[in-house]
């Protein structure tokens, strides 16, 4: 059986080659994402493993007639056309948990960078300017953190916030009175959270129902001068609305590990294409505006990227593939395969 891994680093290839050797797979590694240009390397693949920059559209999937199983090395799977997989009965597995603490730690790295002006201090210092002008920050202790989405990552953020002595408000469609009592936080409606929080942090999945969760109307409801943090998915935020909120002073600073259409910022040559959609171009330009604001800290989607978290991703991916080979799939995305 042929398996092809896209978006792989050398150390990942060494690990995967070693642990998959006993399973008699024909394994191919491709350093780049799966695209029209790299598709030929997966033409006869029955197993495919990708990361978030491989967009498995229905059109691409039609060109993989032997494909039976997709193992995405991510928690989210919005880069995969699940409807097309359902039609073809292609099983999909993900990595449901690997870096809850990792992403939560990065969330606080962004919060601290903004609350203590660390990014500004760094730039001044390397220029030889050791003055304190413009660098005064504020304490997290006693401030209110609004956590939108109390899943695995959100709960780790709450625990860390309590370590800083913060009050925590939570908005989630599913509520756990037990966790609320144990971790000492309050569930509130989203509008209440936005209007009462000194810092708002997003930790919800990207779904059709959460697209542009933070739009202009929602930013209008935020407490004036609050910080805004997003380490979840770029599509949760209307980029134009965020730029507006920053211009109006509603949001005093933003910490972003993800951007709407972030692949367009990374692949700037796409911007030069004559058939590039105007709405995507507008989003890309707004992202570039954010990159040059001193009250915005942007990191290149690295919240998950710790040595330990990446190792857990690979271990879970191997378990997913071995489970598929043995007829006992694990971490399967629900609702794709028809019940027998």
Q: Tokens at residue 200, please? A: 């708002």
Burial class (CB in 10 A: 0-12, 13-18, 19+), 67: buried
Q: Which of 12, 73, 262, 286 is catalytic?
A: 262
Which residues partner with 332 through β-bridges?
93
Q: Which of 7, 233, 260, 286 is catalytic?
A: 233
CA distance 79 to 60: 12
Mapping DSSP onto H, E and C, the string for 192-209 reads HHHHHCCEEEECCCCCHH
Decide: 245 and 273 in contact? Cβ < 8 Å.
no
Of 228, 231, 288, 289, nearest to 258 by C-alpha is: 231
Secondary structure element (H or E) that encloses residue 5, with its range: strand 2-6
Q: Tokens at residue 196, please? A: 């009462």
Q: Tokens at residue 136, please? A: 């005064």
Reply yes or no on whether 221 is catalytic. no
- 71 CB-near residues (< 8 Å, 6+ apart): 47, 48, 49, 50, 92, 93, 317, 320, 321, 324
Which residues partner with 228 through β-bridges?
200, 254
Q: Cα 118 vs. chain centroid, distance in angstroms?
A: 23
Secondary structure element (H or E) that encloses residue 282, with its range: helix 278-291
Q: Tokens at residue 165, please? A: 């002595």
- 246 CB-near residues (< 8 Å, 6+ apart): 254, 293, 295, 296
Reply yes or no on whether 301 is catalytic. yes
Per the listing, tokens 């559209």 go with 57
Q: Which of 301, 308, 312, 315 is catalytic?
A: 301
Decide: 285 and 243 in contact? Cβ < 8 Å.
no
Reply yes or no on whether 116 is catalytic. no
Helix (H, G, I), strand (E, B) or coil at 29: strand
* Catalytic annotation, residues: 233, 262, 301
């Amino acid at each position: 059986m042929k398996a092809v891994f896209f978006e792989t680093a050398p150390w990942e290839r060494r690990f995967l080659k070693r642990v998959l050797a006993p399973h008699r797979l024909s394994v191919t590694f491709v350093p780049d994402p799966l695209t029209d240009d790299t598709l030929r390397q997966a033409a006869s693949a029955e197993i495919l493993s990708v990361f978030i920059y491989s967009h498995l559209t229905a059109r691409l999937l039609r060109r993989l007639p032997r494909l039976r199983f997709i193992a995405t090395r991510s928690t989210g799977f919005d880069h995969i056309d699940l409807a097309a997989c359902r039609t073809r009965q292609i099983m999909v597995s993900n990595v449901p948990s690997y870096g809850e603490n990792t992403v939560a730690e990065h969330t606080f790295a962004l919060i601290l960078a903004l609350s203590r002006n660390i990014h500004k201090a760094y730039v001044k210092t390397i220029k030889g300017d050791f003055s304190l002008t413009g660098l005064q920050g504020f304490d997290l202790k006693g401030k209110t953190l609004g956590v939108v989405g109390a899943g695995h990552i959100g709960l780790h953020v709450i625990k860390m916030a309590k370590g800083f002595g913060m009050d925590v408000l939570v908005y989630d469609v599913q509520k756990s009175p037990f966790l609320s009592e144990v971790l000492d936080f309050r569930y509130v409606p989203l509008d209440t959270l936005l209007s009462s929080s000194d810092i708002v942090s997003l930790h919800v999945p990207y779904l059709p129902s959460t697209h542009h969760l933070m739009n202009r109307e929602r930013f209008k409801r935020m407490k004036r001068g609050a910080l805004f943090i997003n380490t979840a998915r770029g599509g949760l935020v209307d980029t134009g609305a965020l730029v507006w909120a920053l211009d109006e002073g509603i949001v005093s600073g933003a910490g972003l590990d993800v951007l709407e259409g972030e692949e367009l910022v990374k692949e700037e040559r796409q911007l030069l294409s004559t058939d590039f959609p105007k709405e995507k171009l507008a989003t890309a330009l707004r992202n570039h505006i954010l990159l040059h604001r001193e009250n915005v800290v942007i990191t290149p989607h690295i919240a998950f990227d710790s040595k330990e978290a990446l190792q857990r991703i690979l271990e879970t991916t191997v378990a997913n593939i071995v489970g598929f080979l043995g007829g006992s799939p694990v971490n399967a995305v629900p609702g794709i395969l028809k019940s027998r």
